[in-house]
Homo-oligomer: A and B are copies of this chain.
Amino acid sequence: MATGHRILDGTAAAAAFPLGGIGTGNVSIGARGELRDWELCNAPDKGARLPFTGFAIRTARAGAEPVTRILESRLPAPHDGDQGYDAGRLAGLPRLRGSRMQGQYPLLRVDFDDDDLGVEVSLTAFTPLVPLDADASGMPCAVLRYTVTNPSDTPVDVTVVGSLANPVGVVGRNVFHFPEYTGQPGNTWRDDGRLRGILFGTDLGADHLRFGSVALTTTDTDTTAKPQWLSGFWQDGVQVFWDDLRDDGRLDPETEFSLDPPPHPDWFTRLRVGSLGIPAQLAGHATRDFEFLLTWHFPNRPRAWQGNIRLDDTRAGEVVRNHYATRFTDAWHVAERLADDLPILEAGTRAFHAALFHSTLPPEVVDAAAANLTVLRSTTCFRLEGGVFAAWEGSFEHSGSCEGTCTHVWNYAQTAAFLFPELERSARRTEFLHETRDDGRMNFRANSVFGNEPWDFHAAADGQLGAVIRLYREWRFSGDDDFLKEVFPGARRALDFAFGAWDSDGDGVLDSKQHNTYDIEFFGPNSLSNSLFAAALHAAARMAQHLGDTDTATRFRDAAHRCAERMDALLFNGEYYEQRIDDVDEHRYQYGRGCLSDQVFGQQLAHVVGLGHVLPAEHARSAIAAVHRYNFRSDLTKHYSVQRTYALDDEAGLLLCSWPHGGRPRIPFVYSDEVWTGIEYQVASHLIYEGLVEDGLSVVRAVRDRHDGRRRNPWNEVECGNHYARSLASWAPLLALSGVDYDAPAATLTIRPRLDTPTLRSIFTTGTGWGEVHLTPAGARMVLHGGSLDLTRLVIEHATLGRLQATGVSLEAGGALDLPAHPIPPEEQ
């Protein structure tokens, strides 16, 4: 089954669909429909559970025994906790027989199956996601909508109730798996006329790192609630809650704090659980939504990375606010805005979902692009007050992985550039305004976002050169000349740095010690660095030319040609590009005669940003074909790798390197036998750009088949950490296939699909608007779903339609443009 259409039953324990906006943290929904992985408070926390937290349903029909169930399907084995399931798991309460999860990011649907409930129930869950609108897509919230259908003729009373343990101030778990708190959490019932529900707060000060609030609310008018369960040394609260719910489907607020007589000692539980229910009677054959809004607000981060690379963290004792915290005062405020804007936010979200999942692009490509959007909305990424975008490479289980929006990892990422371009522009500002030294050396991990001292380490050739290409991408997609003027001087310094630092003999080919994304240094000429160098030189030449600096433009353009020509002569072996090094074992961690998957990475980036071929086209095509030929394995059962393992046994995957003609170093570079999804997407898209479409798709399919909900989480591609940034390369295959290319300075949109199907439906984005293109034999139709589009020229080139063109195109959201097919000349009929 196509990956994005895969339906997972409750045993798919690896599946966790994250909810949450850009830079807001997450809570996820598992394959049983359960809430899991509570990561709201500015740090990863995979596996974090909240006791007693989740949804339940009670149904009652005249003359029959009421049925009360946890609104999840059953827990799959193993059942092997060190205390069985602790009471907080509610594992001893009956659950529904089965569930079917279908996640098409950003929309999740879970259908539940049961024999006793007497109604049909499904859950729709999402966090708004609107292309080009990072704020609308950056709300700390989730919509949880249970849809109940009464299939019978007789009315049924239904209560759906959500319970939440106050998560504000959780600092750990005790040996009984219950949360421990700093500060005293407190729950408050609130009804402001528009919304009603529970605000979960704390007595911590507003500047405390753990300060925050969460709200569970509904706009439904008839509610029933137990805002705070009984507290106690034992679990009186849950017993009374459950019996209260079973009894009549209505909850009574507790009149006592605890049945344990006061005074309560210091160590008395700080746990505060609250429940909000929506009761309703459904007439025969009626369907009704029971909609809950879960919103949160944890404003404060430490003003330092405090990561494992250990950049200077002088200001770690201070706090800095999240961007979202400058937009909302607390979780209730988020809920109000969400409730007010939900129709428009949901419409945008659904339009985006449809543009992806109703497209005619291969489903694995859509699935890859959509699923990895989660990186941007995971704990890997955040935005600080002022809108500054920053990110880890990925997320370890309980902390960020490798700090500083690392240039050589983010090099591969394309999703944000084409969906939320302001985020990438923010990163380029950081890189070229704050992290590029006077001599052009870039700190490839940014510490300036927190105002701490810059990181002093050698430069990363690939990351530094790639950043220049990406600056070109950002400017070309936005057409923002002020941005370019502001940032280009840093980029020029960074590029000039390469000549001095990495070209020891001045022949135009980089050949010195080159640190790179494999966390080691390559020595001697290699096509990873030099393909990036050539592409960066072309990109910089175009920017210099635009800014009127013709001398620089000429110098860079000449250098680009010289680099490409000489590199080709030095490194192309007739089939692919090698590393030129006399003794491959003189330095550890080289690849020599190996076939490196990243060998023409610069060419891939050049394709993505519209530079076309910067290397000899035939050689580029031959090289990327060789990468697929030698490095893509349909089965890894007999593969030897002593490195980290992301694909194994009967799985398919693309190795980072192989040595088809021998010459493997004694100790090759430290990740050479690994399989990284980010590089797989890089290579897949390049294969497509070079016309090797089926080869490219085979790589994308391999990745997504490995992320099937049982082997791995479909919404989490891992490298050094969960939600790893490199997996954002997954937007590139979509770009390559759809052939959408937007050039803002030229006000030109070109759509040149590399799929030769007679019809095509695909998303497109530009710096100002987004929509869908539909190609049929009858012609082309452009529909704009958001923003606006003002084009000097629109060009469509398609196998069936040939070339269609329009000039002076202007569309607003909701608008559409039709370009009828050319009449086919008689001689071609």
A792 within 8 A of B: no
Bound CA span A94–B643, Å: 13
A673 within 8 A of B: yes
Chain B residue contacts of A395, Cβ below 8 A: 82
Interchain CB contact (< 8 A) of A83 among B74, B520, B644? B644
The stretch from A274-282, A503-511, A717-725 touching chain B is: A717-725
Bound CA span A589–B235, Å: 11
Contact between B78 and A667 (Cβ–Cβ < 8 Å)?
no
Chain A, 705-727, contact with B by CB distance < 8 Å: what is the 0/1 string?
Answer: 00000111100101111100000
Chain A, 14-56, contact with B by CB distance < 8 Å: what is the 0/1 string?
Answer: 1000000000000000000000000000000010000000000
Bound CA span A77–B721, Å: 18
Contact between B645 and A85 (Cβ–Cβ < 8 Å)?
yes
Contact between B640 and A81 (Cβ–Cβ < 8 Å)?
no
Contact between B670 and A46 (Cβ–Cβ < 8 Å)?
no
A263 within 8 A of B: no
Chain B residue contacts of A193, Cβ below 8 A: none
Chain B residue contacts of A643, Cβ below 8 A: 87, 92, 235
Shortest CB-to-CB span from A622 to chain B, Å, is 29
Contact between A718 and B588 (Cβ–Cβ < 8 Å)?
no
Shortest CB-to-CB span from A340 to chain B, Å, is 38
**6 intermolecular pairs with C-beta atoms under 8 Å apart:** A78-B712, A81-B718, A82-B397, A85-B645, A94-B639, A242-B642
A649 within 8 A of B: yes
Best-buried of A83, A240, A711, A720 by chain B (most CB within 10 Å): A83
A93 within 8 A of B: yes
Interchain CB contact (< 8 A) of A588 among B78, B259, B520, B670? B259
Contact between A175 and B399 (Cβ–Cβ < 8 Å)?
yes
Residue on B with the closest CB to A589?
A: B234
Contact A82 B642, CB 8 Å, known A236-B588, A588-B236: no
Interchain CB contact (< 8 A) of A175 among B396, B670, B674, B711? B396
Chain B residue contacts of A74, Cβ below 8 A: 648-649
A13 within 8 A of B: yes
The list of the 10 closest CB pairs from A to B, nearest first, reads A92-B641, A91-B645, A84-B646, A14-B78, A85-B645, A92-B645, A77-B711, A238-B642, A234-B670, A82-B397
A661 within 8 A of B: no
Residue on B with the closest CB to A308?
A: B175
Interchain CB contact (< 8 A) of A84 among B588, B673, B719? B719
Interchain CB contact (< 8 A) of A642 among B87, B670, B710? B87
**Which A residues between 560 and 602 are near B, CB-CB below 8 angstroms?**
588-589
Bound CA span A712–B75, Å: 13
Chain B residue contacts of A805, Cβ below 8 A: none
Chain B residue contacts of A78, Cβ below 8 A: 13-14, 710-712
Bound CA span A8–B93, Å: 30
Contact between A648 and B79 (Cβ–Cβ < 8 Å)?
yes
A89 within 8 A of B: yes
Residue on B with the closest CB to A641?
A: B92
Bound CA span A674–B84, Å: 10
Chain B residue contacts of A520, Cβ below 8 A: 234
**Which A residues between 445 and 493 are near B, CB-CB below 8 angstroms?**
none
Residue on B with the closest CB to A668?
A: B239
A637 within 8 A of B: yes
Chain B residue contacts of A239, Cβ below 8 A: 642, 666-667
Residue on B with the closest CB to A238?
A: B642
Bound CA span A401–B344, Å: 53
**Which A residues between 389 and 412 are near B, CB-CB below 8 angstroms?**
394-397, 399, 401
A611 within 8 A of B: no
Interchain CB contact (< 8 A) of A77 among B14, B93, B174, B636? B14
Given known contacts A14-B77, A74-B648, A79-B645, what 16 new A-B pairs fall within 8 Å (CB)? A77-B710, A79-B711, A80-B712, A82-B394, A82-B395, A82-B397, A82-B718, A82-B722, A83-B401, A83-B721, A92-B640, A92-B648, A94-B640, A175-B399, A234-B520, A239-B666
Chain B residue contacts of A90, Cβ below 8 A: 642
Shortest CB-to-CB span from A179 to chain B, Å, is 16
Residue on B with the closest CB to A399?
A: B175
